[in-house]
Amino acid sequence: MFSFGSGVVNWSSKKQPTFALSNMEAEYKGATIAACEVVWLKKLLSNLGQSVDAPIVIYYDTISNILLANNLVYHARTNHIEVHYHFIRKNVLTKEIDLIHVNTKD
């Protein structure tokens, strides 16, 4: 769910189109899909004359995936994740997106 001010501007709930070998991979792919939506919404706002200079915050409940997105080091356990799913890593490192941990219960 994406909100702007106090209103929801976009939300989605659907099955992922690919097969994941682990929970970590499935959630990482989900975060990448959210990052794609963030980039699209930023471009939409830019076209409407609203510049967004600060990083967009994505609240995320998996610490291991936040660390993976923030780290450029090659991980042997993630070599099976397709390259285009590392799109979130690029956006986190360029400060377009900020992943903030939130407890699952919150």
Q: Where are the alpha helices (DSSP H) in 10-99?
A: 23-47, 63-70, 87-93
- Residue 73's pLDDT band, with cuts at 50, 70 and 90, is low
Query: Cα separation of 84 and 65, whole Å?
Result: 16
Task: Say whether pLDDT at 79 is over 60.
Answer: no
Q: What is the pLDDT of residue 3?
A: 67
Q: Is the pTM above the cut of 0.85?
A: no
Mean model confidence pLDDT for the chain = 76
Query: Cα separation of 62 and 67, whole Å?
Result: 9
pLDDT digits (tens, 9 = 90+) for 1-44: 666 677 777 766 666 666 666 777 777 777 888 888 888 888 88
